[in-house]
Structure 1
Amino acid sequence: MRDDEMPEGEEARLMAVPITDAFAQAATEVLREYREMVEKSLECSEENAEAPFLAEIASIISTPQVGMARGSLYAMLLEIAAMSFDTALDHVKALEHDIVRKPPPVWSTLVMTRAVLESCLFSDYLYDPSISGALRLARCAGLWRKDTEHSANLATVLEQDDEIAEVDDYVTKALDDCGIEARRNARGKITGYIVDGESSNLDFNITERARNRLPGWLPMPYGLLSGAAHGRPWMTNRARTVSKDKEGLVGEAATVMTAIMIVMASMEMCMRSLQGYFGYDLDAAFAELMEYRKLTFLRLVDLAHAPE
């Protein structure tokens, strides 16, 4: 019996077979080509005069008293949103190398994919074209405050208490200058920020946002990625049952394919938020990416189950 054959009475699982050299090479080429298509489409895009991005800049500039301060916060928002997408692309490039390593990867592909997804969700959270400019600033304020809390925790470990107070004072003053109001709970702890009546939390729920923002053609993936990243036995034990002829953990084609599909969906999600926010003309790029995705999926399925 080959590894891709199941005993009689058992349901065959698509791509639940060990990773072959031919499959790994094709998979990494697909991922690289898809990434390059995404990068090229964004490099060639120009802002639309009616894009929310330009309207929000105009609104900020014309805001009495706090316009300059909000402009600085808005510049930081654009910088960290772009940095998050660049971070996602960096992890994709690492994933391209991981797929073809020897011995084949077991769970590292899904762990890297989780990093791609979370970076894309962070970027999409700030670029989201469906929200108002005020809510966008409130979200940025919340994320900034949350990051200072993480920095404060690190500074405490390093016994750098003076830096904690200095950073906290700087962030507090910067947000006060923007006319941004802190939202507090009954104990006085900051739980979010309010900008012109629009309220946001300090952070976002990753699982919920992944469920609501990723393309509909992809099933909800976050629990799967978390199982691999946290080393949960319900997930990792699977790698011991892929092949009964080998000892230890064995990577399977299904894991690599899952990683590729989630990466593709994450980049598409960011492209759609960029299209809506900056007014990029990406319809032709989306059509090309969809066709490429369909064709390569069939090709990779065939390669995964082809005898060595």
Structure 2
Amino acid sequence: MTHDELPEGEEVRLMAVPITDAFAQAAAEVLREYREMVGRSVQEPEPKAESPFLAEVASIKSTPDPIGTARGSLHGMLLEIAGMSFDTALDHMKALEHDITREPPPVWSTLVMARAVLESCLFFDYLFEPSISGALRLARCAGLWRRDTDHSANLAKVLEREDEATEVDAYVTKALEACDIIARRNDKNRLTGYIVDGEVSNLDFNITDRARNRLPEWMPMPYGLLSGAAHGRPWMTDRARTMSKDGERLVGEAATVMTAVMVVMASMEMCLRDLQGYLGYELDTALAELEQYRKVTSLRLIGLAHAPE
């Protein structure tokens, strides 16, 4: 039998090997370089004149007051929270870079951090999706604002600050009414979403469905895998025991790190395509460079993962 052959019936399990120092250092460096490439591509370029963003701004400005001013404020909040989501994704990405190289090597934390990056990017994508109308964008923002207000109100009640919760609820209700945004309710009079100029949105979005439909085609649906790690489900976490010789300790494998890296790259690519489509940024060159970098470094990381120590 040559070195390239395997015993009959034995499968090749790519990356199903313990994390080595060389692999961990390289994976962290790949993430850092990728993050810096993303940062250089979005250094405050001006939105293009023909972009959906400027068309929406013009439409809002042409709307008679007081509705126009109110919608302008809501649109401004939309931009702020989308930007905050993008910055949050980058923060989790930086944390992941450090986590990969820790000792002992990580087991499931890399997937949990990648999930945090993905969720922040999906939030960003929900608000900046280029193909939707400006009215639907405002309706989505209204739904998210209301949903977050509900969470804040629940926290205020726990802290015995119910008056504060009531004030916030009243403020949001008044602000949305000023925008001429109509509350949508079901047969039981329960709020289910909002309507803006005929465009209908729910209060929130389904993360699993959005991850399935919005990530780049080269990224297989990862959310169930990430959730299994984040929620500590035995069907997922028990796998780590098979990597240890005694079957008792939890040992991280290169496959989890590689999955985390790919999820983060796919999430960032999704955000850049949103920026390109919504703000009109010229990102074709940057996206091509990121794709080439991903392909080259993926092969390098696979080689390092399986290299003998």
Whether the TM-score (by the shorter chain) exceeds 0.5 is yes
Q: Name the SS for the 2:192 alignment partner.
A: strand
* Runs of 4+ in structure 1 over 3 Å off: 5-8
CA contact (8 A) 2:181 2:194 kept: yes
Amino acid at match of 2:37: M
In 1: Cα distance, 2:134 partner to 2:253 partner: 45
Residue of structure 2 in register with 1:88 after alignment: 89
Residue of structure 2 in register with 1:194 after alignment: 195
In 2: Cα distance, 1:96 partner to 1:81 partner: 23
Give the C-alpha shift of residue 257 in structure 1: 0.2
Amino acid at match of 2:187: A
Q: Name the SS for the 1:199 alignment partner.
A: strand
Residue of structure 2 in register with 1:273 after alignment: 274
Residue of structure 2 in register with 1:289 after alignment: 290
Residue of structure 2 in register with 1:156 after alignment: 157
Residue of structure 1 in register with 2:54 after alignment: 54
Residue of structure 1 in register with 2:227 after alignment: 226
Amino acid at match of 1:58: A
Q: Name the SS for the 1:218 alignment partner.
A: coil
The 3 A distance-change label for structure 1 pair 116 and 165 is same
Range 40-49 or range 20-29, more displaced:
40-49
Residue of structure 1 in register with 2:45 after alignment: 45
Structure 2, unaligned runs of 5 or more:
none
Residue of structure 2 in register with 1:103 after alignment: 104
The 3 A distance-change label for structure 1 pair 6 and 240 is farther
Residue of structure 2 in register with 1:208 after alignment: 209
In 2: Cα distance, 1:131 partner to 1:287 partner: 25
CA contact (8 A) 2:244 2:250 kept: no
Give the C-alpha shift of residue 193 in structure 1: 0.2
In 2: Cα distance, 1:14 partner to 1:171 partner: 51
CA contact (8 A) 1:106 1:239 kept: yes
Q: Name the SS for the 2:138 alignment partner.
A: helix
In 1: Cα distance, 2:232 partner to 2:8 partner: 31
Give the C-alpha shift of residue 188 in structure 1: 1.5
Residue of structure 2 in register with 1:20 after alignment: 20
Give the C-alpha shift of residue 137 in structure 1: 0.2
Amino acid at match of 1:109: T
Give the C-alpha shift of residue 9 in structure 1: 2.3
The 3 A distance-change label for structure 1 pair 306 and 246 is farther
Alignment RMSD (CA, Å): 1.3
Q: Name the SS for the 2:243 alignment partner.
A: coil
The 3 A distance-change label for structure 1 pair 306 and 121 is same
CA contact (8 A) 1:69 1:174 kept: yes
Q: Name the SS for the 1:241 alignment partner.
A: helix
- 1:79-127 CA distance string (max 9 Å, x none): 0000000000000000000000000000000001100000000001000
In 2: Cα distance, 1:44 partner to 1:245 partner: 53
Q: TM-score, normalised by structure 2?
A: 0.96
Give the C-alpha shift of residue 6 in structure 1: 7.9
Residue of structure 2 in register with 1:128 after alignment: 129
Q: Name the SS for the 1:193 alignment partner.
A: strand
In 1: Cα distance, 2:280 partner to 2:273 partner: 10
Q: Name the SS for the 2:301 alignment partner.
A: helix
Q: Percent identity?
A: 78
- 1:254-306 CA distance string (max 9 Å, x none): 00000000000000000001100000000000110011001000100010001
CA contact (8 A) 2:60 2:71 kept: yes
In 2: Cα distance, 1:188 partner to 1:194 partner: 15
In 2: Cα distance, 1:45 partner to 1:31 partner: 23
Q: TM-score, normalised by structure 1?
A: 0.96
Amino acid at match of 2:137: R
Residue of structure 1 in register with 2:238 after alignment: 237
Give the C-alpha shift of residue 222 in structure 1: 0.2
Aligned residues: 304
- 1:13-67 CA distance string (max 9 Å, x none): 1000000000000000000000100010011633211000001000001111300
The 3 A distance-change label for structure 1 pair 261 and 41 is same
Residue of structure 2 in register with 1:113 after alignment: 114
Give the C-alpha shift of residue 156 in structure 1: 1.3
Give the C-alpha shift of residue 245 in structure 1: 5.4
CA contact (8 A) 2:183 2:195 kept: yes
In 2: Cα distance, 1:8 partner to 1:156 partner: 63
In 2: Cα distance, 1:244 partner to 1:44 partner: 51
